């Protein structure tokens, strides 16, 4: 599936990057960011291999859930409290500073929609298509 890519700007190095947002409520998903590279792990609430007893909400996952996720291919860990990162300088992207480009790019802003200003609520960001889906560890 092709998604519209918008342009953001790193608040540290001022380089541009492409991104798109996902509304996890509409997408029936949850997410986590890698603590090392900022890649997004997107978790489908209807995935066949969802570990037993896991309760997902339409937001960033909690510590219990992240223990069931495979590590990122960069060697980092997907976890609550991690943030997306600039693909050029690897700096953590500020959700507050991102408000400018996110709201400028979002058509709904003209009708009153406002960015959540954090990386934990219903919206997540995919930077430069750095995404892994349903990266659950194998369970026995």
pTM of the entire structure? 0.94
DSSP 66-109: HTTBPPPTTS--EETT---B-TTT-PBPPTTTTHHHHHHH-GGG
Q: What is the pLDDT of residue 4?
A: 85
Within a domain: residue 139? no
Give the tokens for residue 118.
Answer: 């954090």
Within a domain: residue 138? no
Within a domain: residue 140? no
> Span 28-41, mean pLDDT?
98
Within a domain: residue 98? yes
Within a domain: residue 40? yes
Q: What is the pLDDT of residues 75-88, one digit of tens each?
A: 999 999 999 999 99
Q: Which residue range(s) make up the domain with 69?
A: 6-133
Residues 6+ apart with CB under 8 A from 67: none
Within a domain: residue 54? yes
Within a domain: residue 123? yes
* Structural domains counted in the chain: 1
Q: How many residues make up the chain in this entry?
A: 140
Within a domain: residue 56? yes
């Amino acid at each position: 599936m092709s998604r519209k890519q918008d342009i953001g700007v790193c608040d540290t190095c001022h380089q541009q990057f492409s991104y798109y947002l996902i509304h996890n409520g509409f997408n029936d998903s949850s997410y986590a960011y890698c603590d090392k590279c900022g890649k997004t792990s997107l978790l489908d609430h209807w995935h066949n291999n969802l570990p037993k007893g896991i309760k997902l909400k339409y937001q960033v996952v909690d510590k219990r859930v992240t223990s069931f996720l495979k590590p990122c291919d960069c060697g980092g860990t997907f976890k609550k409290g991690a943030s997306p990162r600039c693909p050029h300088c690897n700096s953590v992207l500020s959700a507050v500073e991102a408000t400018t480009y996110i709201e400028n790019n979002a058509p709904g802003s003209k009708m009153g929609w406002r960015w959540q200003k954090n990386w934990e609520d219903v919206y997540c960001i995919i930077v430069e298509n750095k995404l892994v889906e349903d990266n659950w560890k194998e369970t026995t």
